[in-house]
Amino acid sequence: MDTARITSSPEARARLIFSRDIWLWGVPNCPLCSEKHTHGAEFHWRGTHPRKSLGHRVGHCDSSVSVERQGVGYVLVDGWPEETDKLIVKHAADVERAKVRHAIRERAKAQGVAA
């Protein structure tokens, strides 16, 4: 294991994933531990662009990585921007449906009815 102290956060290339009502950023090759990690990006029904959730994150590394290295975390960057754009276009209708489902759930909650 490399025990060298890292004091700044390395970049982690992330790939956008679509899963039910949320966007996820998958890190296939963590710069700290070389393992795979997944981070929540955004709920579809919020309609927020998933790229807004890129940036610094606490590493999801397991205990094989020293606390010092885990502590610096990493900076999520869009590693496959063309795929990201295609995926967002591909799932635009799903995002709209998720917004509608969410609005229906919220209305039912406000009326005290189980959705």
Interface with Zn ion by CB under 5 A: which residues? 30, 32-33, 59, 61
Chain-centroid distance, C-alpha 40: 3
- Listed in order, strand segments (DSSP E) in the chain are 11-19, 22-27, 37-43, 55-57, 74-78
We find the least distance from the C-beta atom of residue 69 to Zn ion, in angstroms, to be 9
Looking at beta carbons only, is 32 or 95 nearer to Zn ion? 32
Helix, strand or coil for residue 75? strand
We find the least distance from the C-beta atom of residue 33 to Zn ion, in angstroms, to be 3
Looking at beta carbons only, is 4 or 110 nearer to Zn ion? 4
* Cα–Cα distance list, 106 to 10, 37, 67, 110 (Å): 40, 32, 41, 6
Looking at beta carbons only, is 77 or 87 nearer to Zn ion? 77
Looking at beta carbons only, is 1 or 113 nearer to Zn ion? 1
We find the least distance from the C-beta atom of residue 35 to Zn ion, in angstroms, to be 5
**Which distant-in-sequence residues (6+ apart) come within 8 Å of 17 by Cβ?**
23, 24, 25, 26, 38
We find the least distance from the C-beta atom of residue 3 to Zn ion, in angstroms, to be 15
